[in-house]
Amino acid sequence: MSVLDLFSLEGEVALVTGGTHGLGMAVATALAEAGATLVINGHSADRLEKALKIYRDKGIDAKGYLFDVTDERQVAESVARIENEVGPVGILVNNAGIIKRIPALEMTLPEWNDVIATDLTAPFLMSRAVAAGMIRRGRGKIVNMCSMMSEVGRNSVTAYAAAKGGLKMLTKNLATEWASHNIQVNGIGPGYFATEQTAPIRVDGHPFNDFIVGRTPASRWGDPEDLGGTAVFLASRASDFVNGHILYVDGGILASLGRAANEY
């Protein structure tokens, strides 16, 4: 077998939660381009339909399913439906997530619970729902979208950082439990990326833009396509002996203390 064949996803069904926009769409597109049959999840019917049109325009025949990833019953029923209508899920990307930028002293318990439910509990529910079939088949790939906040903190993102730190450890634990079944559970930790959401602050002279460009050794924001190769690697046979690992795609931020002022 050619080493390039190890990266092929032909014959696999890949389910990407929150694959309707942003980094989730970039990852989903890469998996489809590598040969996987793509299934995306969304929580808004309108956004899901718009996303499916974008995929079609790219030549990707994506299947869309509307369900709440934080609802145990909906998750179980939807995964069963997907496996019945499309095929066994061999690749799961837990990408759906939210962030609430609220100082800890001002955050209410419902706000905290919303973030934990979406960013930590949902990946557990989704992983558990697909794992039984993966165990029966003797193989599977689960990729959790972690974050640099799995390692470091920032003001006003207490719940998000707690959830992503928990997701890092969930990744390691599930990898440990399921490795003997030839299931690899790994994570991707994106740095700061150029998306629709970050567009207002990605302008020269904006303090946060200048901070990110100056703080990142690569001296730029990430392009969503920068995640594609990482996602395909972790979803493919090329990573069969990689398990419980968080691969940070951050332009080097976590590797560096930053540059001294006279280096700018």
List active site positions. Answer: 160
Q: What does DSSP say about strands 13-17 and 89-94: parallel, antiparallel, or unpaired? A: parallel
Q: Is the dihedral of CA 104, 192, 187, 17 positive or negative?
A: positive
Identify the residue whose tokens are 């489809």.
Answer: 32
Asked if residue 195 lies in contact with residue 22, where contact means CB atoms within 8 angstroms, the answer is: yes
Q: Where are the beta strands (DSSP E) in 95-245?
A: 140-145, 183-190
d(CA 182, CA 164): 25
Residue among 98, 30, 21, 2 nearest 234 (CA): 30
CA dihedral in degrees (239, 15, 69, 66; nearest 10)?
A: 170
Both tokens of residue 26? 């970039």
Query: What is the number of H-type helices and E-type strands within the chain?
Result: 8, 7
